[in-house]
Structure 1
Amino acid sequence: MTAATGTTAPASTPADERPPRRAPLRGDIEGLRAVAVLMVLLYHAGVPGFGGGFAGVDVFFVISGYLITGQLVAEARRSGTVSLTRFYARRARRLLPAASLVLVVTAVAGWWLLPAGRRGELGTDVVGATLYVVNWVLAGREVDYLAEDSAPSLLQHYWSLSVEEQFYVVWPLLILLVLWLCRRLRLSLTAGLTLTLGLVVAASLLWSVVHTAQSPGTAYFVTTTRVWQLGVGGLLVLLTPQLARLRRPAAAGLAWAGLVLIGLTVVLVDPGTPWPGSAALLPTLGTAAVVAAGAAWAHSPPARLLGVGPMRFLGGLSYGLYLWHWPALRLLEETRPDSGLAARLAVAAGSVVLAWATLRLVENPIRFHPALARRTGRGLLYGAASMAATAAVGAAVLQTAPQFDPRQLGDVPPTAGAVGLVDPASRTTDRLQPVPDPERLFTTTGTVYPDPDIAVEDTPRAAYGAGCQVAQGSSEITPDHVCVFGDREGEVSVALVGDSKALQWVSALEPIAVQEGWRVKVYTKSACGFVAVEQEPDCVDYNAALSERLGSAEHVPDLILTSMGRYGGEEMATSLVEHLQPAVDAGARVVMLADNPAPDREELPDGLTSYECVGAHPDDYGACAYESGRGSGTPVLTLASEELGVPLLDLNRWVCPGSGPEPACPSVVGDVLVFRQGSHLTATYVRSLTPVLHHELVGAGAARTPLEQIEWRVAGLGRATSGL
């Protein structure tokens, strides 16, 4: 998504003051840029038949690598060096006018139109995009299990710009190093650069294949899996003399073959294809073939087809069109989720108009302004000022994001949430019973704890803050002295095992552990149930090591509590049993906690999450109720509990306590918000389930407190709390 710029000027002008003059772009390359942006645009607009359109970004990477490397190598050959200041000043004038404008407009529109709870992510993304590191921000979000239901960022498309610019921070420095080595070793610059870039391409491609197989979510965004595509474009520059020797029929055939490969990408690839990995060779090599053919015959039939007027027009707008279309389509989806294809295409067409206006009124006037073009220092100063201003806008959005303050939860009534659902007469009996007409406790308006705008932060904060949840990509078990809670001197050792659906119960287990004299050790890992089926390699390794550890005489616990939130069948249940068996054989007891049901966006108004729905319907929280269902991990846990002959505690009737014809699962019970991200319960609601869980653990023989001594109030509120 980069335009080539020449650097020639009258000889009387000093080299560092010469204004850039646009060199004519090859028509086939302009047409390729049009193909790339149309692929992305039609894919994002949801046009049928464009399932692989996201690979238009891969086409852009090759083109950008070719154009920018061409500039750098030409300068190195001409002057024997590369001016970093002039290079970065040109990049600033080329990229920042449109990029900064779109960032500011998107930040303001997002602040105005999105739920207040989304401002934190929006502000972070504005700053990340400004600094060209948003791809790493998005990669981190991909492995954040707590962000499972996060809507796509309004600035998600800036990830590709971040990849490019990170590459262009390093690539000129590498060229300077190669220049120095070639002088010392008396080597050809072309040979040195070809060898260097070839090694970079090979290493990045290999890592792309490996990392995509291990973690496709992060592999899509990170720079290291994409460098090879930019490098392929760079290699074409270095191989131009050889490519120019191609005969015209061969060049035309190569170009047609390249276009076919790009076309096959669009129709054969879909969002479920692990990407980039080896699959990305299809559009990358296809683009490289078209560019290589054009170096031999610039007016071949395919080149003339790509270079027709409409394609050149769209190619010239491709950068601005890429920037504008995504936030426009996302805001349409956010504000009118029922919009059809016609509305999306209308927004896409409007993005073309915005791109044209931005090019004419903002990009070119700034990019070619004499005061900036003739003075490198001024160009750099403009770039710094533009980025600082845009980052300040992002910081301002962040400042308006609601902040979580645990002290506000001190006002929660002691009988709020699930506590009020239980009939007091049944609390000392073997089976708990609901109060008559539990629907009267379904809060429909008024104060909610926590406030929906900060629901995503109502987590077991101390547990997450201490790093008790092992991140995706890691297989290391936390040391024994870390993530221990309850009675640290307790004689009963308890292991909490599973994914974040197990960790959410920490908020209830902490006060139970104190009363029971349990020393509880957390062994949970993000998106990693205690199984080896359909799991990432790091999860498989972690669970294998943990199974061995829990079965050893030194570490075997007295009790294992486990839960998980993964769909699966008998094979997965068998894997869970196999992982637990060593500890069971060593004398550990096991109790499983059923996975809780969760709201589906499709069941809620406007496709909102449960907490966003509550915030959007302050006069009727009942609009955010949903139909009851089993938690995704419950079938696996049920099969495993039956095979092992261990208790399965199901608290879901206190999550979905409705009994009438209306939806059984409210979003607010007794003034307490039930859900935060996706299928996770708020820590406050889990605390309100503390006495219920304690009662069930006693009934299962895992706890010893007499039923009449269980405290029926919201645990940790109205008194000192650990923050768990």
Structure 2
Amino acid sequence: MTRVVEAGAISPATPRSKRTFPEIQALRTIAVGGVVLYHLFPGVLRGGYAGVDVFFVISGFLITTHLLRELDATGRIRFGAFYARRARRLLPAAFLVLLVTGVLTFAVLPERNWSQVLQEIGASAAYVENWLLASDSVDYLAQSANIASPVQHFWSLSVEEQFYLVWPLLLVLGWWIASKLPSRRRLVIVAALLSVVFVGSFITSVVLTTSNPGPAYFATTTRAWEFAAGGILGLFLRRTERFDGARALLSWLGLAAIAATFLLYTGATPFPGFTALLPVAGTLAVIAAGDPRRPWSPRLVMGLRPVQYTGDISYSLYLWHWPLAIFALSLLGDVGPFGHLLIGVLAFVLAALTKRYIEDPARVAPFLVRRAPRVTLLLTAGAMVVVLVTTLTGATAIRSRIDAEAAAGRSALASGTACMGAGFLADADCRADTLPAALVPGVDGALTDDVNTPACWSKNGDSSVKVCSYGPRANAALSVALVGDSHSNQYLAAVEQLAATERWRVDVYGKTGCVWTGATQVESPDWAKNCEEWKRSLNARLAASKPYDLVITSYSATSLIAAAPGRSLRSTIVDGFVDAWKPVADRGTRIVAIKDNPRPIDGYLDCIDRNKRDAGTKCARGEKQALNYFDGQPQAVQRVPGASLVDLTPYFCQNAVCPPVIGDVIVYRDATHLTSSYTRTLAPMLREAILAKTGLKEKPAA
């Protein structure tokens, strides 16, 4: 899985004091260092994202021990005081970073990203960013359209805040159940309750990581076991000066486990699931070992003042480093190793200042500490409401404007010149001065310019065959099926146009990333199984229904296909198409495969935004580079009688270059997909090519 998330829940669960364990401060330094290095220098610590698990275990340990001391001493937890302390410690620094991020978003990021970032700022302020990202990870179209936002690292803080909300209630429940038992026995009951959380969450994590890794990475339910692991350790850990040599060895083993995670794991490692056991176990080992005094123990390094100080500011360091990286990349592009080093230094300085002037003063502010906890909580709720209302209102206004521009673009396409879009290349008499003044669908609207709907689309985890239909139910000129992954479904706008103007009856069958092939795609086992189930159901449906006149298909030529035993990858790709198409073609249905589309340059929308009227030349990509992939469809059609290839490349590329704007229409909505606006302009050319290649005749109207 491509890891689009940035991790590190590192809120300081306890104030820095003599009671703070030096090994925990060192663990914070190690974890935040891993996260920062992973983000700024991804080739250094490929598995640095696992630092989040270290912090979750620490939080589970510290909060559990803190609350149990209160329960043991008073028999209850003062919820108001607990949540007020959390709010004073966490929110001032977080809200400062969110405020600065909001301002810099408008100053630095392209306007098309404003709505997404505002939504995520609101979700971060309400500490539900993890669920927003989990939802987007399920939504294939959102995955394609969304950028790595400057606040997406708040997902892990959201998980931790949700832990803070639930955990005290769980401990009180366990304490109440065991209220008649001696104190020692109560711990067993509480441990049993936490063990239920551990087992249930761990099983959920393993299953969901295998079947649906995107949501699994962000979900609170797949991370709760890590908090529980720290909590269970906190229930029974008793500090001792005995067994010093064994504890020193245990500490080294724990550190080695964390280091192995950082060095051996990659963005492709299934996570959290079973693989999260390594950093969790390593963290538990270091905490359990404590602060051994042997000369060869890690304490000499872990106790160094820079290590302890970095752990002290780790929360603010984590908050600052990711937005700085995103804004620097947006402004300067690839800043190089030295630039990333400067980002890290700046993040450290800002973290130190934030700790000194924001975190610490807010934590002990007399006007809050001396008042009832409800004062802090009311101020917290008020601040959250202000942020939510502001961001959601702004995002809605921006979204409305983008939608209005998209509607205006669709209107221009419907009633404007035939020279717009692909028509500009099809007609030698077209001139630029005949085109409208604005680009269609607009830079802001390009990312979401897609007419695909849930009715036409089976998402990840859904193996049911969904079908949506266009055109007349009876007396159709042609009966057509559009079948395949998103690179097939992107032609929906064109066939929808043909259904309306040429009386084609079109049924659309599509599934996220699932290519209509007999070959197996390289994904997680459960994902591949789900795709295979969908294809079996699709093939059965096509075999059982009245034969279509025509099936149109395409695919993303960069899809990962598994080479069959004893066959090359290219042969496997070609064979897979033959296996899928031939049974349908044998029934008399013509198969039309559309050659996969070119790819634009990286950052093509930024380039268009900067160059507007000259984007067609200044933002173009060489045809050879734009088509640098193996598409097995041309070879497959030669082996399937009744199959034909339609190559629309001349309507994407001319004179050896492929521009991202043609006829004042933006061609691509993301790095691989076409905008529906441009696809709609391809409808006449697609119809002409299909009829010419297949020899099909459209039935006249009755």
- The CA deviation at 1:497 is 1.1
Structure 2 letter corresponding to 1:403 = I
Give the Cα separation in 1 of the matches to 2:181 and 2:593: 67
Change (3 A) 1:672 1:163: same
1:604 is aligned to none
**2:591 counterpart SS class:** strand
Aligned Cα RMSD in Å?
Answer: 2.8
**1:253 counterpart SS class:** helix
1:388 is aligned to 385
Give the Cα separation in 1 of the matches to 2:533 and 2:49: 32
Name which of 560, 563, 572 aligns with 2:554.
Answer: 563
Q: Please tell me whether the aligned partners of residues 52 and 267 of structure 1 are also in contact (alpha carbons under 8 angstroms).
A: yes
**Within 5 A, what are the aligned runs for 1:517-536?**
517-531=503-517, 532-535=520-523, 536=527
Q: Please tell me whether the aligned partners of residues 507 and 687 of structure 1 are also in contact (alpha carbons under 8 angstroms).
A: yes
Structure 2 letter corresponding to 1:562 = T
Q: Please tell me whether the aligned partners of residues 139 and 221 of structure 1 are also in contact (alpha carbons under 8 angstroms).
A: yes
- The CA deviation at 1:682 is 1.4
For these two proteins, the number of residue pairs brought into alignment is 662
**Within 5 A, what are the aligned runs for 1:620-635?**
620-621=614-615, 622-629=617-624, 635=631
Give the Cα separation in 2 of the matches to 1:117 and 1:543: 36
Q: In terms of mean alpha carbon deviation, does 221-230 or 288-297 score higher?
A: 288-297
**2:313 counterpart SS class:** helix
Name which of 587, 610, 615 aligns with 2:609.
Answer: 615
Name which of 412, 417, 431 aligns with 1:414.
Answer: 417
- The CA deviation at 1:254 is 0.5
Q: Please tell me whether the aligned partners of residues 123 and 397 of structure 1 are also in contact (alpha carbons under 8 angstroms).
A: yes
Structure 2 letter corresponding to 1:697 = I
Change (3 A) 1:202 1:268: same
**1:153 counterpart SS class:** coil
1:198 is aligned to 195
Q: Please tell me whether the aligned partners of residues 592 and 645 of structure 2 are also in contact (alpha carbons under 8 angstroms).
A: yes
- The CA deviation at 1:476 is 2.1
CA deviation map 1:328-359 (0-9, x unaligned): 01111111113121111111111111111111
**Within 5 A, what are the aligned runs for 1:97-496?**
97-146=92-141, 147-148=143-144, 150-183=146-179, 188-241=185-238, 244=240, 247-294=243-290, 301-374=297-370, 375-395=372-392, 397-398=394-395, 399-400=397-398, 402-405=401-404, 406-409=406-409, 410-412=411-413, 413-415=416-418, 416-423=420-427, 435=428, 446-460=437-451, 463-464=452-453, 466-478=454-466, 483-491=468-476, 493-496=479-482
Q: Please tell me whether the aligned partners of residues 445 and 620 of structure 1 are also in contact (alpha carbons under 8 angstroms).
A: no
Give the Cα separation in 2 of the matches to 1:189 and 1:576: 63
- The CA deviation at 1:84 is 2.8
Name which of 532, 542, 548 aligns with 1:540.
Answer: 532
Q: Please tell me whether the aligned partners of residues 450 and 458 of structure 1 are also in contact (alpha carbons under 8 angstroms).
A: yes
Q: Please tell me whether the aligned partners of residues 245 and 292 of structure 2 are also in contact (alpha carbons under 8 angstroms).
A: no
Q: Please tell me whether the aligned partners of residues 435 and 663 of structure 2 are also in contact (alpha carbons under 8 angstroms).
A: no
Change (3 A) 1:163 1:388: same
1:718 is aligned to none
- The CA deviation at 1:33 is 0.6
Tell whether 2:44 aligns with 1:49: yes
Q: Please tell me whether the aligned partners of residues 37 and 45 of structure 2 are also in contact (alpha carbons under 8 angstroms).
A: yes
Structure 2 letter corresponding to 1:343 = G
Structure 1 letter corresponding to 2:230 = G
Q: Please tell me whether the aligned partners of residues 249 and 297 of structure 2 are also in contact (alpha carbons under 8 angstroms).
A: no
Give the Cα separation in 2 of the matches to 1:196 and 1:585: 61
Give the Cα separation in 1 of the matches to 2:26 and 2:436: 56
TM-score (norm 1): 0.85
CA deviation map 1:130-150 (0-9, x unaligned): 111111222233343333364
Structure 2 letter corresponding to 1:678 = A
Change (3 A) 1:93 1:35: same
- The CA deviation at 1:693 is 0.6
**2:450 counterpart SS class:** coil
Q: Please tell me whether the aligned partners of residues 475 and 541 of structure 1 are also in contact (alpha carbons under 8 angstroms).
A: yes
Change (3 A) 1:87 1:512: same
Name which of 484, 492, 510 aligns with 1:498.
Answer: 484
Change (3 A) 1:673 1:93: same
Q: Please tell me whether the aligned partners of residues 594 and 634 of structure 1 are also in contact (alpha carbons under 8 angstroms).
A: no
Give the Cα separation in 1 of the matches to 2:160 and 2:557: 36
Change (3 A) 1:471 1:490: farther
Give the Cα separation in 2 of the matches to 1:239 and 1:367: 30
- The CA deviation at 1:684 is 1.4
Give the Cα separation in 2 of the matches to 1:23 and 1:510: 70
Give the Cα separation in 1 of the matches to 2:171 and 2:606: 50
CA deviation map 1:623-642 (0-9, x unaligned): 11111146588613223323
1:26 is aligned to 21
Give the Cα separation in 1 of the matches to 2:628 and 2:159: 36
Tell whether 2:604 aligns with 1:596: no
1:572 is aligned to 573
Give the Cα separation in 1 of the matches to 2:29 and 2:293: 20
Change (3 A) 1:149 1:71: same
- The CA deviation at 1:305 is 2.5
Structure 1 letter corresponding to 2:277 = L
Structure 1 letter corresponding to 2:26 = G
Give the Cα separation in 2 of the matches to 1:574 and 1:549: 22
- The CA deviation at 1:297 is 7.4
Change (3 A) 1:347 1:417: same
- The CA deviation at 1:557 is 3.7
- The CA deviation at 1:188 is 2.7
CA deviation map 1:467-505 (0-9, x unaligned): 422222222222x6xx21122335554321111111111
Change (3 A) 1:191 1:700: same
- The CA deviation at 1:162 is 1.1
Q: Please tell me whether the aligned partners of residues 294 and 300 of structure 1 are also in contact (alpha carbons under 8 angstroms).
A: no
- The CA deviation at 1:117 is 0.3
Q: Please tell me whether the aligned partners of residues 445 and 619 of structure 1 are also in contact (alpha carbons under 8 angstroms).
A: no
Q: Please tell me whether the aligned partners of residues 544 and 579 of structure 1 are also in contact (alpha carbons under 8 angstroms).
A: no
- The CA deviation at 1:49 is 2.7
Tell whether 2:689 aligns with 1:696: yes
**1:551 counterpart SS class:** helix
Structure 2 letter corresponding to 1:458 = D
Q: Please tell me whether the aligned partners of residues 53 and 279 of structure 2 are also in contact (alpha carbons under 8 angstroms).
A: yes
**2:481 counterpart SS class:** strand
CA deviation map 1:428-473 (0-9, x unaligned): xxxxxxx38x9x769999521111121112211xx42x54222222
**1:206 counterpart SS class:** helix
- The CA deviation at 1:572 is 3.4
1:10 is aligned to none
Change (3 A) 1:180 1:494: farther
Q: Please tell me whether the aligned partners of residues 248 and 292 of structure 2 are also in contact (alpha carbons under 8 angstroms).
A: no
Structure 2 letter corresponding to 1:294 = G
Give the Cα separation in 1 of the matches to 2:475 and 2:299: 76
Structure 1 portions without partners, runs of 5+: 7-20, 424-434, 602-607, 710-724
TM-score (norm 2): 0.88
Change (3 A) 1:675 1:288: same
Q: In terms of mean alpha carbon deviation, does 29-38 or 396-405 score higher?
A: 396-405
Tell whether 2:11 aligns with 1:2: yes
Q: In terms of mean alpha carbon deviation, does 347-356 or 698-707 score higher?
A: 698-707
**1:102 counterpart SS class:** helix
Structure 2 portions without partners, runs of 5+: 1-9, 562-569
Give the Cα separation in 2 of the matches to 1:141 and 1:383: 27
Q: Please tell me whether the aligned partners of residues 255 and 293 of structure 1 are also in contact (alpha carbons under 8 angstroms).
A: yes
Give the Cα separation in 2 of the matches to 1:665 and 1:650: 14
CA deviation map 1:346-400 (0-9, x unaligned): 1111111111111121112112112322321112112112222332442354134
1:670 is aligned to 663
